[in-house]
């Protein structure tokens, strides 16, 4: 039996692929009828093609399987998106918590190290304070009383003044210093004797209340006369 040549195999493949012209197809049909070996080779090639076609059909997924695969991919993508959103939110919350912890630790570590500023460094809009000190610059003492916010004594400036009494300049006398919020002396008045601080504050408050109702000469406060104040 003479083997089929490679040229005849290509001719049979082209005939199965419908690539031959009508004249070539007629010639091949006559040869197939006259050459049984060529007809057997054609049957073998046709069987191989059918076997390959069935194999590819079996491994090709059905429409249901394709849809299930697409649904699984979509669920996986949504799950990843939810995780990413949750992680971003968690990072923001963690950053805020860390900032709060840092601020808290800084305040805890610096406890006991903060110092209050002097009276003359207070808010200039706060009510003026009455302070007794040994000299006009020692205004860090604790105040013994607060002057009313509507203080209207002409010699006292409006920017939170402070009254300070120091040791006598000369025997038998004291000096009253009126300083502003910056600690600058704006007025001085001599006193014959050291007045009682609380009594002085009480008298000054009562005088301011009366001054708001009437106008006239200032009465004396603990040895301080109205003429001396002016």
Three-state secondary structure string covering the chain: CCCCCHHHHHHHHHHHCCCCCHHHHHHHHHHHHHCHHHHHHHHHHHHHHHHHHHHHHHHCCCHHHHHHHHHHHHHHHHHHHHHHHHHHHHHHHHHHHHHHHHHHHHHHHCCCCCCCCCHHHCCCCCCCEECCCCCCCCCCCCCCEECCCCCCCCCCCCCCCEEEEECCCCCCCEEEEEECCCCCEEEEEEECCCCCHHHHHHHHHHHHHHHHHCCCCCCCECCECHHHHC
Tell me the CB-side half-sphere exposure of residue 119, using CA atoms within 13 A. Answer: 27
88 part of a folded domain: yes
Residue 1 lies in a domain: no
Please give the distance of CA 72 from its chain centroid, rounded to a whole number: 39
pLDDT of residue 218: 42
Q: What is the mean pLDDT of residues 111-115?
A: 49
Residues 136 and 185 sit within 8 Å (Cβ to Cβ): yes
pLDDT at 103 over 50: yes
Whether 71 maps to a domain, the answer reads yes
Mean pLDDT of 88-100: 86
Q: 100 and 189: one domain?
A: no
Comparing 100 with 145, which gets the higher pLDDT?
Answer: 100
Round the average pLDDT of the chain to a whole number and report it: 66
**Residue pLDDT, tens place only, 174-205:** 566 655 556 666 556 665 655 565 666 677 66
Chain centroid to Cα 27, Å, comes to 88
Q: Are residues 30 and 77 in the same domain?
A: no
With contact defined as beta carbons under 8 Å apart, do 189 and 176 qualify?
yes
Task: Give the angle 29-34-35 at the CA atoms, nearest 5°.
Answer: 95
Question: Are 135 and 195 part of one and the same domain?
Answer: yes
Q: Tell which of 79, 114, 149 closes a domain.
A: 114
Of 122, 123, 140, which is closest to residue 132 (Cα–Cα)? Answer: 140
In a domain, 21, yes or no: yes
Asked if the model's pLDDT at residue 226 lies above 50, the reply is no
Domain match, 128 and 225 both:
yes
162's tokens: 């402070």
Quote the CA–CA distance of 181 and 120 in Å, as a whole number: 5
If asked whether residues 106 and 23 sit together in one domain, one would say no
Same domain, 101 and 169: no
Say if residue 153's pLDDT is above 50: no
Distance (Å, whole) CA 51 – CA 48: 5
Same domain, 157 and 219: yes
Q: Give a yes or no: residue 147 inside a domain.
A: yes
Confidence (pTM)? 0.28
Residues 6+ apart with CB under 8 A from 197: 130, 132, 144, 145
Q: Taking the alpha carbons of 203, 220, 134, 115 in that order, is the dihedral positive or negative?
A: positive
| pLDDT tens digits, one per residue of 16-30 | 888 888 888 888 888
Residues 31 and 79 in one domain: no
Question: Do 130 and 172 lie in a common domain?
Answer: yes
- Name the domain count of the chain: 3
| Residue 220, both tokens | 């004396």
The residue range of the domain holding 140 is 119-229
| CB-CB contact of 178 with 188 (8 Å) | yes
pLDDT confidence of residue 195: 59
- Portion of the chain with pLDDT greater than 90, in percent: 0
Are 44 and 72 within one domain? no
Is the confidence at residue 31, as pLDDT, over 70? yes
Q: 95, 114, 133: which is the final residue of a domain? A: 114
Q: Given this model, what pLDDT does residue 152 score? A: 34
The 10s digit of each residue's pLDDT in 48-84 is 888 888 888 777 777 787 788 888 888 888 888 888 8
Q: How is residue 75 written in tokens?
A: 């669920």
């Amino acid at each position: 039996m003479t083997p089929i040549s490679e040229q005849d195999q290509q001719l049979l493949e082209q005939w199965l692929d419908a690539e031959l012209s009508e004249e070539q197809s007629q010639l091949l049909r006559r040869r197939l009828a006259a050459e049984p070996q060529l007809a057997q080779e054609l049957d073998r090639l046709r069987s191989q093609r059918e076997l390959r076609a069935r194999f590819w059909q079996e491994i090709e997924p059905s429409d249901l399987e394709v849809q299930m695969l697409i649904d699984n991919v979509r669920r996986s993508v949504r799950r990843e998106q939810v995780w990413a959103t949750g992680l971003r939110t968690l990072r923001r919350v963690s950053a805020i918590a860390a900032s709060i912890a840092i601020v808290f630790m800084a305040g805890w570590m610096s406890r006991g190290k903060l110092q209050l500023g002097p009276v003359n460094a207070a808010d200039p809009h706060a009510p003026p304070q009455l302070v007794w000190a040994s000299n006009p610059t020692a205004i860090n003492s604790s105040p013994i009383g607060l002057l009313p916010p509507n203080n209207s004594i002409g010699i006292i400036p409006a920017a939170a003044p402070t009254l300070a009494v120091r040791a006598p300049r000369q025997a038998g006398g004291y000096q009253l210093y009126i300083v502003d919020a910056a600690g600058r002396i704006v007025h001085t008045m001599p006193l014959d004797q050291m007045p009682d601080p609380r009594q002085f504050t009480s008298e000054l408050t009562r005088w301011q209340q009366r001054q708001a109702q009437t106008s006239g000469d200032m009465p004396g406060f603990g040895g301080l006369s109205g003429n001396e104040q002016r």
